[in-house]
């Protein structure tokens, strides 16, 4: 379970900034050392993609807690990214982004990561996912729909990364990918998962059927990210392969990669040498939340 928690002084004042919001109070407890465990035990099983947890701090040293949702569509940014809509209220969005990492965002823009590990490693740049998704849409005609799609794809990929146990993504032109001997060990998807076409159809028709098509592809992408190997996108918003494994053409050490990390990290150290040749970008996310990105300009 990876719930998002809204910690605030008055939930109604915060949620009035979010159209169609509905909240259900589950209970009330004293604000002491046992409060957090009690709230999570009772509310975390109820939370998910659409339901979030709220915790209200009351004047009498008590907490009110429960779950809430608000009107959201596939193109709606996640709650922790739009909390600033309630900038006049005291509010924090708290969520786990990795097994040992908790992210805290304030309604006025403050942001920090709490890393519960002896290895105080940098988690990577916040713009790595948008940069990667920009490459995945670079072959599309530039228009309003394409720009909206880049934002949607970035939110989708970020959400799947958070729910995965670590993965690696690559972006390549189809012809270049076919001529990459280091990635010959892969499973080609036939047909490719065409996220852009499904997204464009949803924006055009706004029908229940098009919404279901998007949701089904989103579920499948999460499954791919929980599989071993590398997921490969093309430049038109499609996933063309998964379970791709990096095999260096020449025997021996790969650019010093054997000196760092596990198998996935070593693969990243090798595959990033292909960026600018047959690959446009590579994104690595470790199980503990660390993100590494290599793109044409990075």
Are 160 and 241 contained in the same domain?
A: yes
Are 174 and 290 contained in the same domain?
A: yes
Are 151 and 259 contained in the same domain?
A: yes
| More confident call, 190 vs 124 | 190
pLDDT at 234: 97
259-272 residue pLDDT tens: 344 577 888 888 99
Cα–Cα distance between 60 and 48 in angstroms, integer?
Answer: 30
Determine, yes or no, domain membership for 120: no
Confidence at 92, pLDDT banded by 50, 70, 90: very high
* Tokens read off for 176: 């270049």
Are 61 and 196 contained in the same domain?
A: no
Question: Domain containing 56: what range?
Answer: 4-115
Confidence at 235, pLDDT banded by 50, 70, 90: very high
Are 177 and 90 contained in the same domain?
A: no
Mean pLDDT of the region 83-111: 87
Are 82 and 226 contained in the same domain?
A: no
46-90 residue pLDDT tens: 887 789 999 999 887 899 999 999 988 777 778 888 898 888 898
Mean pLDDT of the region 147-163: 89
Are the CB atoms for 253 and 156 separated by under 8 Å? no
């Amino acid at each position: 379970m990876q719930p998002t928690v809204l910690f605030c002084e008055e939930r109604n004042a915060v949620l009035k900034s979010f159209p169609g919001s509905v909240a259900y109070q589950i209970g009330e407890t004293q604000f002491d050392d046992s409060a957090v465990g009690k709230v999570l035990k009772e509310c975390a099983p109820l939370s998910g993609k659409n339901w979030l947890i709220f915790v209200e701090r009351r004047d009498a040293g008590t907490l009110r807690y429960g779950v809430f949702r608000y009107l959201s569509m596939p193109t709606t940014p996640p709650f922790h990214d739009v909390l600033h809509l309630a900038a006049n209220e005291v509010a924090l969005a708290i969520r786990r982004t990795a097994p040992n990492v908790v992210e805290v965002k304030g309604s006025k823009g403050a942001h920090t990561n709490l890393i519960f590990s002896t290895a105080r490693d940098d988690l990577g740049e916040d713009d790595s996912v948008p940069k990667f998704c920009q490459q995945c849409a670079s072959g599309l005609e530039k228009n309003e729909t394409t720009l909206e799609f880049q934002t949607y794809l970035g939110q989708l990929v970020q959400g799947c990364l958070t729910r995965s146990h670590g993965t690696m993504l690559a972006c390549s032109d189809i012809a270049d990918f076919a001529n990459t001997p280091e990635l010959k060990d892969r499973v080609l998807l036939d047909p490719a998962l065409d996220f852009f076409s499904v997204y464009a159809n949803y924006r055009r028709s706004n029908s229940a059927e098009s919404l279901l098509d998007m949701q089904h592809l989103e579920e499948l992408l999460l499954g791919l990210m929980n599989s071993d190997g590398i997921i490969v996108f093309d430049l038109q918003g499609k996933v063309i392969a998964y379970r791709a494994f990096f095999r260096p053409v020449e025997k021996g050490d790969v650019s010093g990669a054997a000196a760092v990390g596990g198998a996935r990290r070593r693969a990243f150290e090798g595959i990033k040498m292909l960026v600018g040749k047959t690959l446009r970008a590579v994104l690595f996310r470790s199980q503990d939340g660390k993100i590494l990105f290599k793109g044409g300009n990075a």
